[in-house]
Amino acid sequence: MHPLLEHQLLTRRHWLSQSALGVAALSTLLAENDLHAEGGLPGLPHFKPRARRVIYLFQSGAPSQLDLFDYKPGLRERRGTELPDSIRRGQRLTGMTSRQESFPIAPSKYRFARHGQSGTWLSELLPHTARVVDDLCVIRSMYTEAINHDPAVTFFQTGSQLAGRPSIGAWLSYGLGSMNRDLPAFVALVSVGSGNPNDQPLYDRLWGSGFLPTRYQGVKFRSVGEPVLFLSNPPGQDHAVRRRMLDDLAQLNQMKLEESGDPEIATRLAQYELAYRMQSSVPALLDLSREPQRVVDRYGPDARKPGTFAFNCLLARRLAERGVRFVQLFHRGWDQHTNLPRQIVGQCRDTDQPSAALIEDLKQRGLLDDTLVVWGGEFGRTVYCQGKLTADDYGRDHHPRCFSIWLAGGGIQGGLVHGSTDDFSYNLVENGVHVHDLHATILHCLGIDHKRLTYKFQGRHYRLTDVHGEVVKPILAG
């Protein structure tokens, strides 16, 4: 060991052994009713929350707002004409279209209609979403700086385009803790869409804890094999043997914790115990045999097939009613640079019915009032065609300047459309909502002042919204 490092460890050991405050802090950390593990940080929530949990339906690859939510009927007359330079305004383009000599306008080929008492315009691709539109707040004026997938997805998950920051679920797990001792506070679920199954990959760091202790990272449930790795007892061990082993291991880990003060050892202690309890809670969670068939049918024909978006939506409701704080569904397949009309049909078939069923199911169970549901991707798509525009085919490139998402429940006003774009869905016209604003609003619904939930790392107090973000007050329920 390097002499300097050894000196630092010895100094730390001496402080821990001599400091009553340090010992008390460690005892609190390891206590069964530990605030970090159960109730979150002292003083949180900062004010009365409207939501207790979040289900985030992240549509990875970027859905086309022009074909789903942002109706632009005037584009039909402009089909095939050049996008005016006055609209482009010299904005950044990706390398996939920056060298195109022509930027022909590609209006959506899908019909739109008004739905609900709110009269919200929706595409014919979303007939099930149309049923619940009065429960939704559609934000048509989202924007971001990121123009490529990885930094854009990372931005939505962590508040930074660079990897390494804690994900939003980790922040909530850290700040508010868990509502169920037998399940993780933060669960991630991944599905692959039928639109573009070879879409951009997703990385485990997207539900990671960054510089927060690793106990706050999301736990990914797998669709093949064991839902969570290493939960099952090794061959030849029963629960009694497992319990004795964990008790002995806990003593060894606590000795090491008292010696070094490494918070990751405390994480190890907590996670071993959680894994032991999950041996019973996870099989019960995944057992759909007691779900009424009418409920399963509501989510669509794939609802009993693990790994599908429909199955994950049903599982998200079951996690929510068991008190899991943050459930994030990642659905790949929306990156439609070519063959958009064919690919987007498959994506909507995957997601439309299960998303609407989740809203209806939560509402019927009395859970929607305190569950915030978010649906959306990392940016939007261009009005101009990428590649060749034909009579029945077009593609769209990345467009961060304006796009659409929706929110429901948990303190959000339903039946509302917020913000607007120009006639080309290319620039914002009013009420722009930045990624940091969305994060600030999500935290607000959970009773958190986004400026006060911080963590000191490398000498700086960090937060999810960095040094930005304003709560979008007009979309909040009264």
Domain limits, the chain: 41-237+292-475
> How far is residue 101 from each of residues 58, 104, 150, measured CA to CA in Å?
34, 10, 27
Give the integer Cα–Cα distance in Å for 288 and 302: 13
Beta carbons within 10 angstroms of residue 214's beta carbon: 15
- DSSP-derived secondary structure for 343-385: HHHHHHHHHHHHHHHHHHHHHHTT-GGGEEEEEE-S-EEEEEE
Give the integer Cα–Cα distance in Å for 4 and 317: 52
Give the integer Cα–Cα distance in Å for 83 and 398: 15
- For β-strands 186-192 and 455-457, DSSP reports them as unpaired
Give the integer Cα–Cα distance in Å for 478 and 133: 19
Residues whose CB is less than 8 angstroms from the CB of residue 473 and which lie 6 or more positions away in sequence, other chains included: none
Block means of pLDDT (10 residues each) for the chain, 478 residues, are 38 39 37 46 97 98 98 98 95 95 97 98 98 98 98 98 98 96 95 92 96 95 81 74 72 82 78 73 90 97 97 98 97 97 97 98 98 98 97 96 98 98 98 98 98 97 97 96
> How far is residue 212 from each of residues 174, 258, 473, measured CA to CA in Å?
8, 20, 29
Q: What is the pLDDT of residue 414?
A: 98
Length of the chain: 478
- For β-strands 219-220 and 371-376, DSSP reports them as unpaired
**Nearest residue to 64 (alpha-carbon basis) of 284, 298, 348:** 348
Task: Give Cα 414 distance to the centre of its chain.
Answer: 20
By CB neighbour count within 10 A (0-12 exposed, 13-18 middle, 19+ buried), where does 53 fall?
buried
Give the integer Cα–Cα distance in Å for 232 and 275: 9
Three-state DSSP at 12 gives: helix
Give yes or no for a contact between 104 and 84, defined as CB atoms under 8 angstroms apart. no
> How far is residue 195 from each of residues 58, 198, 243, 332, 334, measured CA to CA in Å?
15, 9, 46, 9, 7
Q: Domain 41-237+292-475 adopts which CATH fold?
A: Alkaline Phosphatase, subunit A (3.40.720)
Q: Considering the entire predicted model, what is its pTM?
A: 0.88
Q: What is the pLDDT of residue 1?
A: 36
Give the integer Cα–Cα distance in Å for 150 and 157: 11
Q: What is the pLDDT of residue 16?
A: 39
The structure tokens listed for 30 are 């390891």
Amino acid at 381: R
Give the gyration radius of the chain's Cα atoms. Answer: 24
**Nearest residue to 334 (alpha-carbon basis) of 157, 198, 220, 434:** 198
Give yes or no for a contact between 378 and 398, defined as CB atoms under 8 angstroms apart. no
Residue with tokens 């190890």: 268
Residue with tokens 């790392």: 457
Give yes or no for a contact between 124 and 350, defined as CB atoms under 8 angstroms apart. no
